[in-house]
Amino acid sequence: MLGGADRATRRLRARAAALVAVAAVAVVAVAVGGYAYYQARERRNAEAAKAAAEGARRSRQREVADAFAAAAPRPAWWDTVETPYRVDNVGDLLAAWQGYPRRDDGSGERQFFKATYQGILDHADDAHVVATGIDLLYHVVRDYPHRVEMARFGYERYFAYRQRTDNCANCMVGDTTQGLAQNLSQLYLAAGRADDAIAVCRRLVDERAADVSPYKLAETWDRLAWAHWQKGERQRAIEITRETLARYGGTVRADELRRTLARFEAEPAR
């Protein structure tokens, strides 16, 4: 750039080159600063979004936990029972279910109940823990006075729940919901509320049948037949049982369905 030019021209060209260099440095500085600002802004936005999501999760957790505790308050014996179990996930829940003492004075069931109940409160945002926990709590501490309310909470809140099937080769995503419906319908029948039991079973087969294992659907249809039987609708109960046998006679529920049909056919109408 400077070769072949006089001294004055070289000075002008040198000044021009210096200005260009300064401008280039300024441009680079602005670009670097802009990129740093962009990165900082994106980081702040990500942190704000994460904080908002965490706040929403905690809000949902509190809402579910409060609604559960309102529907099914802690039992009177709560403070007198110490439990060795801690439920933080479905694995913990199933381990406690398989490990609590059976055939004792009832203390094992209370230990499982307390651990599961507390796990539901602590992890109310985890549908796997809540839905599975409520399903299992039906089978323990049968003197708990809020069994219907707890079962109804599980059925209504988790009717659309899709369970994990990665640890169960023969399970389907709607099987836990079927269990919740089965529990609630049985409690309704025990209370003489046959129409409510029928409504629970009908909703399951109408809306979730495609998601439920065949042998569990057979169990639901059997419950439906018994609900009609309790209402005095003998012929309808027989029809449902025969249809269920024709459809699900190849499942493990076949013998149970045959016994139900034999009972209905042997006894006169109420």
Q: Each residue of 148-159: pLDDT tens digit? A: 999 999 999 999
- Examine the domain organization and report whether 120 and 13 are in the same domain: no
Q: How confident is the model at residue 4 (pLDDT cuts 50, 70, 90)?
A: low
Residues 200 and 268 in one domain: yes
Tell me which residue range forms the domain holding 47: 1-60
Q: Decide if 54 is inside a domain.
A: yes
Q: What was the pLDDT predicted at 2?
A: 52
Are residues 160 and 131 part of one domain?
no
Reported as a pLDDT band with limits 50, 70 and 90, residue 126 is very high
One domain for residues 85 and 187: no
DSSP 82: -
In 3D, which of 227, 136, 144, 237 has the Cα closest to residue 185?
227
- 8 and 83 co-located in one domain: no
The verdict on 161 and 256 lying in the same domain is: yes
- Distance (Å, whole) CA 117 – CA 213: 27
Mean pLDDT, range 162-175, rounded to an integer: 89
| pLDDT tens for each residue of 21-78 | 777 787 877 877 787 777 778 777 777 777 667 677 677 888 999 999 999 999 999 9
**Residue 71: Cβ within 10 Å count:** 17
Close Cβ partners of 210 (under 8 Å, ≥ 6 residues apart)? 174
User: Residue 258 in 3-state DSSP?
Assistant: helix
Whether this prediction's pTM lies above 0.85 is answered by: no
Residue 67, domain member (yes or no):
no
Q: Identify which has the larger pLDDT, 22 or 110.
A: 110
Closest by CA to 215, choosing from 184, 245, 177, 183, is 245
Quick one: average pLDDT of 93-118?
Answer: 94
Per-residue pLDDT, 105:
87
Q: 10 or 110: which carries more pLDDT confidence?
A: 110
Q: Are residues 135 and 188 in the same domain?
A: no
Is 240 within 8 Å of 227 (Cβ atoms)?
no
The domain that contains 244 carries what CATH number? 1.25.40.10
Residue 158 lies in a domain: yes
Over residues 67-105, the pLDDT tens digits come to 999 999 999 999 999 999 999 999 999 999 999 998 788
pLDDT in tens, 215-250: 999 999 999 999 999 999 999 999 999 999 999 999
Query: How confident is the model at residue 68, as a pLDDT?
Result: 97
Residue 191 lies in a domain: yes
Same domain assignment for residues 229 and 251: yes
Same domain? For 32 and 88 the reply is no
Q: Residue 203: inside a domain, yes or no?
A: yes
Q: Which of 118-132, 163-177, 180-194, 229-243 has the lowest mean pLDDT?
A: 163-177
Tally of domains in the chain: 3
Rg (CA), the chain: 33
Q: In this structure, are 153 and 268 located in the same domain?
A: yes
53 found inside a domain: yes
